[in-house]
Structure 1
């Protein structure tokens, strides 16, 4: 939804909406992985600055992205790769919750590493 009080955010949202509408499933996963890495960085910054409400919002966004990625998996037909990704996404979800409870930016690092590796693997599929 456009926000007339914040034109920059409205522009960003419109741009994102256009990219999502034009994305194929491969591009959608790539965008979700990129967005997750960006939000992890924001969450770490909020933790370091003790901005607890903003941290909670960021962690929730991260969890939603991880759950979105997980929901795109075809566990019946995706074989070992889908099963492994499902396990990784489950680990990331648990680690995000733990990092949030502990308010530990360092505890986000394993998630960043896992998602960076998944993103690199995904990029190599092209």
Structure 2
């Protein structure tokens, strides 16, 4: 895929070189942004804008779902159920034009985002590879 716009190429390269932790944070931030824009559009009675923004938020949540590591066990299963709930909630919010339902999803996304950011911070400040013996050569 060729990118002719230098800014677009730079942004694309940034995404390719981000850590997994930062990519997940970006996904959460994007979903939050589109949900908030959906609420804003709803307040203005811009229903096409509501639809567009909620669909984009749904796409991001789907991406979070498909990138889950199900080998992680119960936490991955619980996250999958939360993502599924948020998708259903956003679909219903879009159909009913219900700001409260969108705000419910925003609350969940914000809590997940904050928890992920904290977990990434803790991971970065500890050397788990040394403690688990992952740095030993076989």
TM range (shorter): 0.7 to 0.9
State the distance in 2 between where 1:100 and 1:2 align. 36
Gaps of 5+ in 1: 4-9
State the distance in 2 between where 1:99 and 1:35 align. 18
Distance change in 2, residues 1:86/1:59 (3 Å) = same
Gaps of 5+ in 2: 121-138
Q: Residue deviations 1:74-108, cap 9 Å, x none?
A: 22x11111011001000000000010011111211
- Return the match for 2:16 from 12, 21, 36: 21
Distance change in 2, residues 1:50/1:14 (3 Å) = farther
Pairs aligned (count): 118
Aligned-partner SS, 2:112: helix
TM norm structure 2: 0.78
Determine the structure 2 residue equivalent to 1:81: 75
Determine the structure 2 residue equivalent to 1:56: 51
CA displacement at 1:110 relative to structure 2: 1.1
- Return the match for 1:93 from 87, 90, 97: 87
The ranges of structure 1 where at least 4 consecutive aligned residues each deviate by more than 2 angstroms after the TM superposition are 13-19
State how 1:1-126 maps to structure 2 within 5 Å.
16-75=11-70, 77-126=71-120
Please report the RMSD computed on the Cα atoms of aligned residues, expressed in angstroms.
1.9
State the distance in 1 between where 2:82 and 2:9 align. 31
CA displacement at 1:17 relative to structure 2: 2.5
